[in-house]
Amino acid sequence: MEGLKRAILKRGKIYPNNLLKVDSFINHQIDPELMQEIGKEFAHYFEKYQPTKVVTIESSGIAPALMAALSLQVPLVFAKKTLPSTLMKDDVYSADVFSFTKNVVSKVVISQSLLDKEERILIIDDFLANGEAVLGLKKIIEQAGASVCGVGILIEKSFQSGRGKLEEAGLDVYSLARVQSIENGEVTFLA
């Protein structure tokens, strides 16, 4: 998606260790109009699967997932990183997600009351690197007897293993910006 790529080049910042920082328009400050465009683009691509729900993980996935859900006219569920005080351990589906950035395993949970059998779930997330978050959500969704009909990503680090793993798991992955490399302070996209 050209609008997102332009925003990355113009507003993204490269930090030491070739870390791409997008916190002025995606994951700390959010550009609502860009998110609306992103939501429409995901809806346009994934409507062929007639998703019944959008699922993401808090917090940075919520904005693009909400806009996709609005365009698709379906509810959004966001997985939580801590067990809400109103839920017991037995009330949730959960999965462990390993974060390479932070080098920790964390649990993500979704209330069992919010996922039904036979649902077709569209997963949305801001970054795809090693695919761990999406695979964790997939595990949760399958615990409910539902299935994943697609995965929408804002920024894919195509030089990491995530896309390969998700495709191996049979998932249709649509990334709006596929980053081929981040080197010497410059981002290059796959054609």
Q: One symbol per residue from 86 to 115: x for binding its own copies (CB under 8 A), - otherwise; what is it?
A: x--------------xx-------xx-xx-
Residue 4 engages its own copies in binding (rule: CB under 8 A):
no
Residue 188 engages its own copies in binding (rule: CB under 8 A):
no
- Candidates 6, 59, 167, 183; binder of its own copies (CB under 8 A) is 59
Q: How far is the CB of 168 from its own copies (least distance, A)?
A: 28
Q: What 3-state class would DSSP assign to 40?
A: helix
Distance between CA 41 and CA 36 in Å, rounded?
A: 9
Output phi, psi for 70, to 5 deg: -60, -45
Encoding tokens for residue 101? 């950035």
Q: How far is the CB of 121 from its own copies (least distance, A)?
A: 12
- List the one residue out of 115, 188, 132, 155 whose CA is nearest residue 21: 155
Could you check whether the bond before residue 113 is cis, i.e. omega within 30 degrees of 0?
Answer: no
How many residues in the shown chain lie near its own copies by CB under 8 A?
38
Q: Measured on CA atoms in the order 147, 149, 155, 157, is the torsion positive or negative? A: positive
Give 166 or 187: the residue with its C-beta nearer to its own copies. 187
Residue 28 engages its own copies in binding (rule: CB under 8 A):
yes
Which residue type is seen at 31?
D
Give contact residues for its own copies (rule: CB under 8 A): 15, 19, 21, 23-25, 28-33, 35-36, 58-59, 62-63, 66-67, 69-70, 73-78, 80, 84-86, 101-102, 110-111, 113-114
